[in-house]
Amino acid sequence: MTVTVQIQRLTHAADLPLPAYQSADAAGFDLQAAVESDLVLAPGARALVPTGLSMAIPRGFEGQVRPRSGLAAKNGVTVLNTPGTIDADYRGEVKVILINLGHDPFTISRGMRIAQMLIAPVQQAVLVDVDSLEATARGAGGFGSTGTA
Ligand SMILES: O=c1ccn([C@H]2C[C@H](O)[C@@H](COP(=O)(O)OP(=O)(O)OP(=O)(O)O)O2)c(=O)[nH]1
Ligand SMILES: [Mg+2]
Protein backbone atom coordinates (compact mmCIF):
# COMPACT_ATOMS: atom_id res chain seq x y z
CA MET A 1 0.00 0.00 0.00
CA THR A 2 1.30 3.43 -0.88
CA VAL A 3 1.04 6.09 1.79
CA THR A 4 1.54 9.70 0.81
CA VAL A 5 2.93 12.19 3.31
CA GLN A 6 2.94 15.83 2.34
CA ILE A 7 6.06 17.56 3.63
CA GLN A 8 6.42 21.32 3.84
CA ARG A 9 9.93 22.72 4.13
CA LEU A 10 9.73 25.80 6.31
CA THR A 11 11.66 28.92 5.38
CA HIS A 12 14.61 28.05 7.61
CA ALA A 13 14.95 24.70 5.80
CA ALA A 14 14.18 25.80 2.24
CA ASP A 15 17.78 25.08 1.19
CA LEU A 16 17.87 21.60 2.74
CA PRO A 17 16.93 18.60 0.60
CA LEU A 18 13.60 16.89 1.12
CA PRO A 19 14.05 13.82 3.36
CA ALA A 20 14.49 10.59 1.44
CA TYR A 21 14.65 6.89 2.09
CA GLN A 22 18.33 5.94 1.84
CA SER A 23 17.85 2.44 0.45
CA ALA A 24 15.22 0.57 -1.50
CA ASP A 25 13.52 -0.93 1.52
CA ALA A 26 14.61 1.40 4.30
CA ALA A 27 12.00 1.53 7.04
CA GLY A 28 12.64 5.15 7.85
CA PHE A 29 13.75 8.36 6.21
CA ASP A 30 16.31 10.52 7.92
CA LEU A 31 15.53 13.85 9.53
CA GLN A 32 18.05 16.65 9.20
CA ALA A 33 18.96 19.32 11.71
CA ALA A 34 17.74 22.71 10.52
CA VAL A 35 19.94 24.56 13.00
CA GLU A 36 21.23 27.98 11.88
CA SER A 37 24.67 27.32 13.30
CA ASP A 38 26.49 24.52 15.08
CA LEU A 39 24.85 23.36 18.27
CA VAL A 40 27.11 21.66 20.78
CA LEU A 41 25.51 19.06 23.04
CA ALA A 42 27.58 18.66 26.17
CA PRO A 43 27.68 15.20 27.78
CA GLY A 44 24.36 14.69 29.56
CA ALA A 45 22.71 17.62 27.78
CA ARG A 46 19.61 17.50 25.63
CA ALA A 47 18.24 19.79 22.93
CA LEU A 48 15.06 20.27 20.96
CA VAL A 49 16.46 20.21 17.45
CA PRO A 50 14.40 21.75 14.63
CA THR A 51 13.99 19.80 11.40
CA GLY A 52 12.44 22.65 9.42
CA LEU A 53 9.66 20.29 8.35
CA SER A 54 5.92 20.27 8.85
CA MET A 55 3.93 17.38 7.49
CA ALA A 56 0.48 16.04 6.89
CA ILE A 57 0.46 12.36 7.81
CA PRO A 58 -2.72 10.64 6.65
CA ARG A 59 -5.36 9.67 9.22
CA GLY A 60 -4.75 6.15 10.50
CA PHE A 61 -0.97 6.66 10.52
CA GLU A 62 1.59 8.25 12.81
CA GLY A 63 5.16 9.38 12.47
CA GLN A 64 7.67 7.75 14.80
CA VAL A 65 10.91 9.60 15.51
CA ARG A 66 13.62 7.09 16.21
CA PRO A 67 17.38 7.28 16.85
CA ARG A 68 20.00 6.59 14.22
CA SER A 69 22.04 3.58 15.31
CA GLY A 70 25.32 5.05 14.13
CA LEU A 71 24.99 8.13 16.32
CA ALA A 72 24.06 5.96 19.28
CA ALA A 73 26.89 3.46 18.80
CA LYS A 74 29.65 5.95 17.94
CA ASN A 75 28.65 8.99 19.98
CA GLY A 76 26.09 7.92 22.58
CA VAL A 77 23.59 10.34 21.04
CA THR A 78 19.98 9.21 20.97
CA VAL A 79 16.39 10.40 20.91
CA LEU A 80 15.25 10.99 24.48
CA ASN A 81 11.55 10.22 23.94
CA THR A 82 12.01 7.47 21.40
CA PRO A 83 9.86 6.75 19.60
CA GLY A 84 8.63 10.32 19.44
CA THR A 85 5.04 10.46 18.30
CA ILE A 86 3.98 12.71 15.43
CA ASP A 87 0.21 12.83 15.31
CA ALA A 88 -1.56 12.80 11.97
CA ASP A 89 -3.26 16.09 12.82
CA TYR A 90 -0.04 17.87 13.90
CA ARG A 91 0.93 20.66 11.53
CA GLY A 92 3.70 22.29 13.54
CA GLU A 93 7.40 21.84 12.95
CA VAL A 94 8.71 18.37 13.71
CA LYS A 95 11.42 18.61 16.35
CA VAL A 96 13.79 15.98 17.64
CA ILE A 97 14.68 15.70 21.31
CA LEU A 98 18.30 14.60 21.22
CA ILE A 99 20.32 13.67 24.28
CA ASN A 100 24.03 13.10 24.53
CA LEU A 101 24.65 10.05 26.71
CA GLY A 102 28.26 9.87 25.56
CA HIS A 103 31.38 11.18 27.28
CA ASP A 104 32.33 13.82 24.73
CA PRO A 105 30.61 16.97 23.47
CA PHE A 106 28.68 16.32 20.26
CA THR A 107 28.36 18.96 17.56
CA ILE A 108 25.14 19.09 15.56
CA SER A 109 25.69 20.90 12.29
CA ARG A 110 23.17 22.15 9.76
CA GLY A 111 21.94 19.36 7.51
CA MET A 112 23.26 16.58 9.75
CA ARG A 113 20.97 13.54 9.72
CA ILE A 114 20.10 13.28 13.40
CA ALA A 115 17.19 10.83 13.56
CA GLN A 116 14.84 8.89 11.35
CA MET A 117 11.10 8.84 10.94
CA LEU A 118 8.87 5.87 10.29
CA ILE A 119 5.32 6.15 9.07
CA ALA A 120 3.31 3.47 10.85
CA PRO A 121 -0.35 2.51 11.03
CA VAL A 122 -2.18 3.31 14.24
CA GLN A 123 -5.68 2.58 15.37
CA GLN A 124 -7.70 4.63 17.78
CA ALA A 125 -9.62 2.40 20.17
CA VAL A 126 -13.10 2.91 21.49
CA LEU A 127 -12.52 3.47 25.22
CA VAL A 128 -15.23 1.86 27.33
CA ASP A 129 -15.84 2.48 31.02
CA VAL A 130 -16.49 -0.83 32.90
CA ASP A 131 -16.59 -2.01 36.54
CA SER A 132 -14.81 -5.36 36.08
CA LEU A 133 -12.74 -7.16 33.47
CA GLU A 134 -12.91 -10.62 31.92
CA ALA A 135 -10.72 -13.12 33.87
CA THR A 136 -7.54 -14.57 32.32
CA ALA A 137 -4.94 -17.20 33.33
CA ARG A 138 -2.33 -14.45 33.85
CA GLY A 139 -4.62 -12.32 35.88
CA ALA A 140 -2.76 -9.51 37.57
CA GLY A 141 0.66 -11.21 37.37
CA GLY A 142 3.34 -9.08 35.75
CA PHE A 143 6.83 -7.73 36.23
CA GLY A 144 8.58 -11.09 35.94
CA SER A 145 5.76 -13.21 37.33
CA THR A 146 6.37 -15.87 34.67
CA GLY A 147 9.99 -16.36 35.82
CA THR A 148 13.34 -14.99 34.72
CA ALA A 149 14.88 -17.86 32.73
O1 LIG B 1 9.62 13.96 19.21
C2 LIG B 1 8.59 14.62 19.00
C3 LIG B 1 7.38 14.35 19.62
C4 LIG B 1 6.28 15.14 19.34
N5 LIG B 1 6.39 16.18 18.46
C6 LIG B 1 5.20 16.99 18.12
C7 LIG B 1 4.28 16.23 17.18
C8 LIG B 1 3.22 15.68 18.08
O9 LIG B 1 2.00 15.52 17.37
C10 LIG B 1 3.16 16.74 19.16
C11 LIG B 1 2.69 16.26 20.48
O12 LIG B 1 3.51 15.22 20.91
P13 LIG B 1 3.16 14.41 22.24
O14 LIG B 1 1.71 14.04 22.26
O15 LIG B 1 4.16 13.30 22.35
O16 LIG B 1 3.53 15.47 23.36
P17 LIG B 1 2.66 16.06 24.54
O18 LIG B 1 3.62 16.49 25.56
O19 LIG B 1 1.59 15.08 24.93
O20 LIG B 1 2.05 17.35 23.86
P21 LIG B 1 0.52 17.66 23.47
O22 LIG B 1 -0.13 18.04 24.74
O23 LIG B 1 0.63 18.76 22.47
O24 LIG B 1 -0.08 16.40 22.87
O25 LIG B 1 4.48 17.25 19.29
C26 LIG B 1 7.58 16.45 17.82
O27 LIG B 1 7.70 17.36 17.01
N28 LIG B 1 8.66 15.66 18.12
MG1 LIG C 1 0.09 14.40 23.58
pLDDT at 54 over 80: yes
Task: Let me know if residue 73 belongs to a domain.
Answer: yes
Q: Ligand 1 pocket check: which of 90, 117, 118 to mutate, most ligand atoms within 8 Å of Cβ?
A: 90
Task: Let me know if residue 146 belongs to a domain.
Answer: no
Task: Let me know if residue 1 belongs to a domain.
Answer: no
For 115-131, the pLDDT digits (tens) are 999 999 999 999 999 99
Task: Let me know if residue 130 belongs to a domain.
Answer: no
Query: Peptide bond preceding 50: is omega within 30 degrees of 0, i.e. cis?
Result: no
The CATH number given to whatever domain includes residue 65 is 2.70.40.10
C-alpha separations of 26 from 21, 23, 30, 35, 52 in Å: 6, 5, 10, 25, 22
51 within 8 A of 80, measured Cβ to Cβ:
no
Residue 102 CB-density burial (10 A; 0-12 exposed, 13-18 middle, 19+ buried) = middle
Which numbered atom of ligand 1 lies nearest the CA of 79? 1
79 within 8 A of 66, measured Cβ to Cβ:
yes
Can you give the pTM of this predicted structure? 0.96
Q: 60 C-alpha to center of ligand 1: Å?
A: 17
Q: 139 C-alpha to center of ligand 1: Å?
A: 33
How many domains are contained in the chain?
1
Range of the domain at 77: 6-121
Complex prediction ipTM = 0.99
Task: Let me know if residue 103 belongs to a domain.
Answer: yes
